[in-house]
Structure 1
């Protein structure tokens, strides 16, 4: 399987980077092809340009401004995202990745009559996310309703592909996580990725 592994964290030595490396190493050891897309190291521009937005609903949307990222998405059989949750949402660079790469003609088709959009990422069989949040479990799930999971599962994944394997694993209370808790999370990621 060819996995597009997307890392969204500005620090090269972040915990997110270690999770991405664990996933990359495990996938590669199991014979998968991994395309590591480190959005910060590759200087991805998250800003949707004026021209991109102006032609968003055109019949033949041209995603050329977001190449080669669009091509990398089209070549993937699965997507694994690694990112921290900030303010109960994606880092801005990851939100921009969705805005500029998951576009009409690539991730979905707009219904010209204004109805439902039609998924175009039928080749994607796996859509996973490994995240961290500074808030405890109860704040994320009970108080906030787990907005990131809802956006990923019900919005992006469901509108772009059908029947895929969606999973999200989150390390809660990251700001107070000691070394043992972090090691346990890395081991959990390695075990889950090892089953792919």
Structure 2
């Protein structure tokens, strides 16, 4: 089984990083081949440019890094996303990954009615999303 982990956190001392290390070690101990996509280490550009948006609408992909990520996802049986929640949202790099990589024509297609999507990652059997956040107790009511 091949596991692709998409990781986004800039600080290697973070709890997210500890989760990454544990998830990778656990998957390898279970006999999985593990491929880590570290968006921060890769200096992934999350910005959806006007050209990217036009390509998205045409179900094409122009960002070479995004295309390379799609190839890695196409080989995956399992996908794991690890990222923090900041200000009640995922960080920009993870949002940009979803915008630029999880796109029509590369990872899914619209069904004929136009009211749904169908995966074109037939090998992918499982997706796990792991997030962390820190909310001060004084904010809890």
Same-fold call, TM cutoff 0.5: yes
Give 5+ residue unaligned stretches, structure 1.
144-196
Give the whole-Å Cα distance in 1 for the aligned partners of 2:42 and 2:98.
16
**In the TM superposition, what is the alpha-carbon distance from 1:121 to its structure 2 partner?**
2.7
**In the TM superposition, what is the alpha-carbon distance from 1:91 to its structure 2 partner?**
1.0
Give the whole-Å Cα distance in 1 for the aligned partners of 2:82 and 2:124.
17
- Richer in helix (by share): 1
Higher relative CO (Cα under 8 Å, sequence separation at least 6) belongs to 2
**In the TM superposition, what is the alpha-carbon distance from 1:117 to its structure 2 partner?**
2.8
Give the whole-Å Cα distance in 2 for the aligned partners of 1:114 and 1:129.
27
Give the whole-Å Cα distance in 2 for the aligned partners of 1:117 and 1:129.
20
Map of 1:132 onto structure 2: 132
Deviations 1:50-70 (A, max 9, x none): 112013222xx2224123111
Give the whole-Å Cα distance in 2 for the aligned partners of 1:30 and 1:20.
15
Paired residue secondary structure (2:56): coil
Paired residue secondary structure (1:81): strand
Paired residue secondary structure (1:63): coil
Paired residue secondary structure (1:94): helix
Kept in 1, the 8 Å contact 2:2–2:32? The answer is yes
User: What count of residue pairs does the alignment treat as equivalent?
Assistant: 138
Map of 1:53 onto structure 2: 53
